[in-house]
Amino acid sequence: MKTCPTGAIHFGTKKEMLEVAEERVAKLKKRGYANAGIYNPPGVGGTHVMYVLHHADQPELYHKLPKEPQIDTSISLWKGALKPLAAAGFIATFAGLIYHYIGIGPNKEVDDDEEKHDE
């Protein structure tokens, strides 16, 4: 069940939540909070939660929210260029295993008796 008895938490699509947040910001600005705004940083593609802040120009005041968050370079590389390369490497390795099995075949164990017989 998705409810909040005080009405502080709302659920819906991102578009619906932006509309609700913009209404709340307008109400805060009417009450004298000139710097009120929505915390939805573009540097990380948004967050899973939208915050309506009294002082949107200072998000670090609220539970140490970062002012200008950014995704770490290693994560950007992994989700960008390295992911298809890793997939290609996996496919190439698997193809090599199949080629080896079909072309050369599995190793066969030789009994001691067979070695003596060949000599």
Asked if the domains 1-70 and 73-118 are classified in one and the same CATH topology, the answer is no
Q: Where are the domains of the chain?
A: 1-70, 73-118
CATH of domain 73-118: 1.20.5.480
Measured CA to CA, the distance from residue 19 to residue 118 in angstroms comes to 85
pTM for this model (two decimals): 0.55
Measured CA to CA, the distance from residue 114 to residue 119 in angstroms comes to 9
Measured CA to CA, the distance from residue 66 to residue 64 in angstroms comes to 6
Distances (CA, A) of 97 to 77, 85, 89: 28, 18, 12
Report percent pLDDT > 90 for the chain. 28
Amino acid residing at 117: H
Measured CA to CA, the distance from residue 17 to residue 51 in angstroms comes to 10
List pLDDT tens digits, range 67-117: 878 788 888 888 888 889 999 999 999 999 999 989 887 777 777 666 665
Q: Which of the listed CATH numbers 1.10.150.250, 3.40.50.1100, 3.30.70.20, 3.90.1150.10 matches domain 1-70? A: 3.30.70.20
